[in-house]
Chains A and B, each alone.
Chain A
Amino acid sequence: MRYRWNVGSLAWITHRITGIILTFYLIAHIFVLSHLKDPTAYNKIMAIMKNPLLKVGELILFAIILKHVFAGLRITLLELGISTKYQKTMAYIGAIAVALLWIIGAFYFLREVI
């Protein structure tokens, strides 16, 4: 079924999708951490983490986290009683904040790794 998207439903669906991705990421993350038992294992895993593909993945992960955080903030503010009149404005501000913080973060991140 096709139905027209709007700011609210887009904010909701991205909040959901990023949330599901983060759940799976956290499981994978804890799984990897549980293998850091000794220096050799640590070095081995850190060597894998140097793979440029994983670096790109980390940048994407950073964007997903930011998006999820700001979507959550918007919903929390609405639930606390910030007027629903501002729901679209808050979604736009959130999107701008995500973009800005991602650019700043990516800049420092890339400076580290390159």
Chain B
Amino acid sequence: MSKYYTFKIKRYLPNEKPITRWDEFRVKLNNMERVLDGLIKIKETMDGTLTFRKSCAHGVCGSCAMKINGKNRLACQTLVKDLPEIIEIEPLPSLPVIKDLVVDMTLFFQKNDKVLPYLINEEPPPQRERIQSPEDQHKILESITCIMCGSCTTSCPVFWSDKEYLGPSALLKAYRFLFDTRDKATEQRLKAIAGQDGIWRCHSIFNCVEVCPKEIDITKHILKLKRLAIKKGFKGGQE
């Protein structure tokens, strides 16, 4: 079953005047197709200047995150049949726009770098890999599924108002290593996230949880980080 949808797309064209405008396209899509299919059809048959990011088209790479009908989501994971006939598309909020739906993610990735997103373990490595038991793996499994699409951080009102805030995605990454039993840099990591731009700025608004395409309960993880930091603080940094 196919149906016509109206795509209202917020354009940002730095070399044109006015720089921003709303364009409308009528696209026929069947109920198996996703917003990304509509965007590709528009680009291929109506307006080749329309710019957006995409790669895998299967919710794996995290490059097609955008604001669809007032909510951040992956264009390749959002079925048009679940949306009203008028589909309003904007770039991710609160990051600088480069063109149309493409935002500059530099700031987002800088936050990620700040939480030391790599294993730190000074002990000499064993002959083969550092073993992790399935139980230990389970502790961090949910946080590992993050594809770094940026939906969460750009949906967070705290991040909107304060670009210094690490944001849900980076804090989730911090969790991923803090609760990894092979990692030994607990002190260093807590220092990176417990400052004034870290965990304490999270007000449990749950906007991030609402949008995460991998259905990660990010707030749950941040709350666990808060409890860990408090426990460490009371014990003078000792376990």
Within 8 A of A (CB), among B27-79: 67, 69-71
User: In the bound complex, what is the Cα–Cα distance between A87 and B227 (angstroms)?
Assistant: 18
- A interface with B by C-beta (< 8 Å): 1-4, 6-9, 12, 75, 78-79, 81, 83-85, 87
Pick the interface stretch among B170-178, B183-191, B200-208.
B200-208
Known: A12-B203, A12-B205. A3 touches B155 (CB 8 A): yes
Interface presence of B217 (CB below 8 A): yes
Q: Are B223 and A8 neighbours in the complex by a CB distance under 8 Å?
A: no
Across the interface, A8 reaches (CB within 8 A) one of B67, B93, B205, namely B205
Interface presence of B220 (CB below 8 A): yes
Q: Are A78 and B204 neighbours in the complex by a CB distance under 8 Å?
A: yes
User: In the bound complex, what is the Cα–Cα distance between A78 and B226 (angstroms)?
Assistant: 11
User: In the bound complex, what is the Cα–Cα distance between A6 and B94 (angstroms)?
Assistant: 19
Majority DSSP secondary structure for residues of A touching B: helix
Q: Are A87 and B207 neighbours in the complex by a CB distance under 8 Å?
A: no
Q: Are B70 and A75 neighbours in the complex by a CB distance under 8 Å?
A: no
Q: Are B223 and A81 neighbours in the complex by a CB distance under 8 Å?
A: yes
Residues on B with beta carbons closer than 8 Å to the beta carbon of A84: 204, 206, 209, 217, 219-220, 223
User: In the bound complex, what is the Cα–Cα distance between A4 and B206 (angstroms)?
Assistant: 12
Q: How far is the CB of B35 from chain A (nearest CB, A)?
A: 16
Across the interface, B206 reaches (CB within 8 A) one of A1, A7, A79, A81, namely A7
